[in-house]
């Protein structure tokens, strides 16, 4: 289940990064036509998405994969809280962004907890 959560997260992040890089006004409201910070955030999102997809491609049930999984899980938790408290003057649709990242966080949490339960049963 961890592998599927990473795959969905990777697809969401890469597609969101492409939209944000080429059309930041679809997500953020700004008076300045081109802002470098949005493009840098788009590149960062793209790298996070690629990290998820590379982890899926070379998935192994080891400590490194577990750490990457937890990092991405808390990344989505932080984005959920940040977008939930965002104002409509900053992000065009903050509730939709919060719901999307919240769903991804819950999916990661269920995958993580189901894996913990399996490890506890084997002892």
pTM for this predicted structure: 0.76
Handedness of CA 111, 108, 6, 95 (dihedral sign): positive
Q: What is the rounded average pLDDT of the residues 88-93?
A: 72
Residue 64 predicted with pLDDT over 60: yes
In a domain, 33, yes or no: yes
- Residues 99-119 have a mean pLDDT of 83
Count of domains forming the chain: 1
* Enclosing domain of residue 79: 2-118
Structure tokens at 96: 């939709």
Look at residue 123 and tell me if it is in a domain.
no
């Amino acid at each position: 289940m961890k592998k599927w959560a990473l795959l969905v997260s990777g697809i969401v992040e890469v597609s969101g990064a492409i939209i944000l890089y080429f059309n930041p006004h679809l997500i953020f409201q700004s008076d300045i036509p081109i802002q470098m910070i949005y493009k840098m955030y788009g590149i960062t999102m793209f790298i996070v998405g690629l990290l998820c997809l590379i982890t899926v491609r070379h998935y192994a049930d080891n400590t490194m994969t577990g750490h990457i999984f937890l990092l991405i899980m808390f990344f989505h938790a932080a984005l959920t809280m940040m977008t939930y408290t965002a104002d409509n003057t900053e992000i065009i649709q903050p509730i939709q962004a919060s719901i999307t990242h919240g769903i991804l966080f819950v999916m990661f949490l269920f995958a993580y907890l189901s894996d913990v339960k399996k490890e506890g049963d084997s002892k």
